[in-house]
Structure 1
Amino acid sequence: MNSPNDPETLTICSAKGCHAAAVWVVAWNNPKLHTPDRRKTWLACDEHREHLSQFLAVRGFLKDVVTLEEWERRSAADG
């Protein structure tokens, strides 16, 4: 089993029980807990992107859904 800090683990879908490679970053923020600029992230495979996005959207937490590649580009540019 991979450790939480293993680079391979960091690219696996966040959906419970899924072990597929992540393709998407679902960025969110709970306004009761986080400052407005803070972004928490879940990773998603193609199959779970919509489910994870809807789960957060219903709660008013969803901020952005972008490809993992785009998220990494943004992070590098900010960084």
Structure 2
Amino acid sequence: MDLLGALSSDHEGPDVPPCSRKGCTAHAAWQVKWNNPKIHPPERRKVWLACDDHREWLENFLKARLFWRSTEPMNTTAGETEVRL
């Protein structure tokens, strides 16, 4: 494995980003949008990406903390999804 080659600016990420659930490498199919009302303005949306298997788990985690705002299908068109992890 070429560590320097993997870190170069020429290296592009995956066409479909992975799920945000720790340890999951499945392709994301959903955008789970959330914010923390104590520190984020109401219009701010952070995004976790979810595969089909982890969508409900991530939503329930955020709902328990009153952070969940919406879940939308993943738009795989480049440049149309802003992701903040």
TM range (shorter): 0.7 to 0.9
Please list every run of at least 4 consecutive aligned residues from structure 1 whose deviation after the TM superposition is greater than 2 angstroms.
Answer: none
Indicate whether 1:41 and 2:83 are aligned: no
> Quick one: percent identity of the two aligned structures?
44
- In the alignment, residue 50 of structure 2 is paired with which amino acid? A
Task: Name the counterpart of 1:66.
Answer: 72
Q: Which runs of 5+ in 2 are unaligned?
A: none
Which shifted more, 48-57 or 9-18? 9-18
Aligned CA RMSD, in angstroms, stands at 2.7
CA offset digits 1:52-79 (Å, max 9, x no partner): 000000100000001012x96xx58xxx
Q: Which runs of 5+ in 1 are unaligned?
A: none
Aligned residues: 72
Query: Structure 1 residues 9, 51: CA separation in 2 closer, same or farther (over 3 Å shift)?
Result: farther
The TM-score with structure 1 as length reference comes to 0.78
Task: Name the counterpart of 2:56.
Answer: 50
The TM-score with structure 2 as length reference comes to 0.73
